[in-house]
């Protein structure tokens, strides 16, 4: 099973694009576990909440992978948890950092900040999107998984992502 993850700052279209890709390829889609976890909870969250979210995200990916198929598309990855933990709490649990340092995906798509911000009760930092983008890019450059940056309006993003996934699928034995 090929594994694809989307990552990047808040409000960059990860959920929309990941759902489009999963639908297009008939792939297993793994939504962002944090949304379900934080829905209806009292904010602010604690570091323990981020650890619970990380465990939930990994469990959701494992369940999707166990269900089989040629492609898994994850709306997000643990890099999001790592960067948020470091930003919000000045530290990241060692097990999350270790998991991020291990190869996990055949491709990670880093979504650019060139789309309009859409307010959401769970989104926190519209003014810091470029700052976070730069952190994601630096982490991905230093990390184990191949990645590509995706920019442009929604249709252009989808076409670019499909081209990359098509290349992955063609390269499969």
Ramachandran region, residue 40 (left: φ > 0; alpha: ψ -120 to 50; beta: rest)? left
Query: Quick one: pLDDT at residue 172?
Result: 87
Domain of 113, in residue numbers: 2-171
Nearest to 81 by CA among 60, 115, 58: 58
pLDDT of residue 97: 97
Query: Residue 136's pLDDT is what?
Result: 97
Average pLDDT across each block of 10 residues of the chain; the chain has 173 residues. List them in order.
Answer: 96 95 98 89 86 97 96 97 95 98 97 86 76 97 98 97 97 86
Domains contained in the chain, number: 1
* Cβ neighbours for 104, distance < 8 A, ≥ 6 positions apart: 3, 5, 77, 144, 145
Sign of CA dihedral 32, 37, 39, 43: negative
**Whole-model pTM?**
0.94
pLDDT of residue 122: 66
Integer Cα distance of 136 and 69 in angstroms: 29
Residue 17 belongs to domain with CATH number: 3.40.50.300
């Amino acid at each position: 099973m090929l594994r694809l993850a989307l990552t990047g700052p808040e409000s960059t279209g990860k959920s929309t694009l990941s759902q489009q890709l999963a639908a297009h390829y008939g792939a297993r889609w793994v939504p962002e576990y944090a949304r379900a976890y934080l829905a209806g909870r009292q904010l602010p969250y604690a570091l323990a909440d981020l650890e619970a979210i990380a465990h939930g995200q990994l469990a959701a990916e494992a369940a999707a992978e166990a269900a089989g198929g040629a492609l898994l598309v994850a709306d997000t990855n643990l890099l999001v948890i790592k960067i948020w933990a470091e930003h919000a709490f000045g530290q990241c649990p060692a097990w999350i950092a270790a998991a991020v340092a291990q190869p996990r995906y055949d491709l990670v798509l880093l979504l650019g900040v060139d789309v309009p911000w859409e307010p959401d009760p769970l989104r926190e930092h519209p003014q810091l999107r470029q700052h976070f983008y730069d952190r994601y890019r630096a982490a991905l450059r230093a990390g184990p998984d191949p990645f590509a940056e995706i920019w442009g309006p929604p249709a252009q993003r989808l076409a670019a992502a499909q081209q990359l996934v098509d290349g992955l699928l063609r390269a499969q034995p």
